[in-house]
Amino acid sequence: MIYLDNAATTRIADEVLAEMLPFLKQEYGNPGSNYELGRNAKKAIEKAREQVAAFINARPDQIIFTSGGSEANNMVFHSMMPCYINSGAIKWNIIAGGNEHDSVLNSLMSIKSGFDIRLVPVLKTGRVNVESILPMIDDNTLLVSVMHTNNETGAINPIEEIGELCDERLVYFHTDCVQAAGCSHLDVQKFNCDFLSLSSHKIHGPKGVGALFAKDLNGVLPLIYGGHEQEFGLRGGTQNVPGIVGFGAACEYMMSRIDLEQRNNRLLKQVFFHELEYQLMGSGITAHVNGGEQILSNESKTANILIGGVDAETLLMLLDSANVYASAGSACRSNEQEPSRTLLSMGIDPEDARCSIRISVSSDLSESDVRTAAKIVADKAKLIRSMANG
């Protein structure tokens, strides 16, 4: 098996699983209980909170554990609702990148009756057009939300520049760092952000747990109501202790590996693409990196590759049969037949979007793995083209 879909999820690290196991078996107490078993679970959660906070240079009391990045994103936008309710005649506006994750854009659509939603244009490079943000901000702008690293293309936005712009204009700033975590050094102080979203399973931690950083918890409203003790009263329900422990362990595990991961990501993306080009020589099939080849040399784990005239869904089915796993875009939209909204926002033709696959690497892969995968991709692409030509 050659797994090239680490943007969808990652293998849980052995070191992370080892930290979780006691809380699945021996230390199974409810952290809300006052006896020793419960107190041990609560201490484990607070340790994990410290680990996650250290991962992004925040304070532990600024970390709210959630079920993942999607819930964290939703918490941000639904926390804006009191501004609408109490605004009187003011029509607040929220600005977001035009290629944000569905959990951002769909959450925005759910509150659009109370807000003027403004989407920032996306450049051919896959980055948002930062120069368009300033003219969109006015006296009624409440929040700007721009993701750090795009989940489909691997394009990286200039988050520090955007955060500084928002700070100067006293506008809240949120950044979705789900795909950046483990690949980039995250620092809420440098980002000047008020909110930041994370997900455990993208950094070799368990699924079903994530976090929202909030500079000021007074600005957050719960999506789930319940007890006053869980997550500072902002998320009711018994905490997922093994998951939270694993998330904290994953953050600590990745902190010491980020520089290594960055070098590895650059190398493996470049090796894959150049081997693919080599294997396609003479076939009449071209390969192109959506967003430009500079994405191959950035620190993200992801690249989106157009293989001219080769239907991506057909190609992925053939790759599946060869035990090579990639995707056509976001895992949240993997069963949809429509071309990628992210690629369309970059000005890519719908037919070219349908011929594009996403590969995302990890340190579990070797150069030999990605060379082999590229050869298999090329062979299957040539097979599809030959069948189409009769």
Predicted TM-score (pTM) of this structure: 0.95
How high is the pLDDT of residue 274? 98
| Extended beta strands in the chain, E state | 2-3, 63-66, 93-97, 116-120, 141-145, 172-176, 195-199, 210-214, 287-289, 302-307, 324-325, 356-360
Q: Which CATH architecture has domain 14-255?
A: 3-Layer(aba) Sandwich (3.40)
Q: What is the pLDDT of residue 332?
A: 52
pLDDT at 262: 97
Q: Within the chain, which residue ranges are assigned CATH 3.90.1150.10? A: 2-9+258-388
Spatial separation of the C-alpha atoms in residues 218 and 212, rounded to whole Å: 13
Q: What is residue 291's predicted lDDT score, i.e. its pLDDT?
A: 98
Question: What stretch(es) of the chain map to CATH 3.40.640.10?
Answer: 14-255
- Please state, in angstroms and rounded to a whole number, the distance separating the CA atoms of residues 340 and 157: 19
Choose the catalytic residue: 177, 183, 332, 355. 332
Q: What is the mean pLDDT of each run of 10 residues along the chain (390 residues)?
A: 98 98 95 94 98 98 98 94 67 93 94 89 97 95 97 98 97 98 98 98 98 95 86 94 98 96 98 98 96 98 97 97 90 64 96 97 97 98 85
CA 60 remoteness from chain centre: 22
183 labelled catalytic: no
The whole-number pLDDT of residue 335 equals: 52
Q: Which pLDDT does position 82 carry in this prediction? A: 79
Task: Work out whether the CA dihedral 66, 70, 76, 77 comes out positive or negative.
Answer: negative
- The beta strands (E) that lie in 34-168 are given as 63-66, 93-97, 116-120, 141-145
What 3-state DSSP class applies to 261? helix
Could you tell me the end-to-end alpha-carbon distance of the chain, in angstroms, rounded to an integer?
31
CA-to-CA distance for 356 and 343, rounded, in angstroms?
9
Quote the distance between the C-alpha of residue 357 and its chain's center: 17
Taking Cα atoms as reference points, which of 198, 217, 209 lies closest to residue 148?
198
CATH number listed for the domain at residues 2-9+258-388 = 3.90.1150.10
DSSP secondary structure letters along 317-337: HHHHHTTEE-BSS-GGGTT--
Largest CA distance in the chain: 72
Q: pLDDT at position 337, please?
A: 66
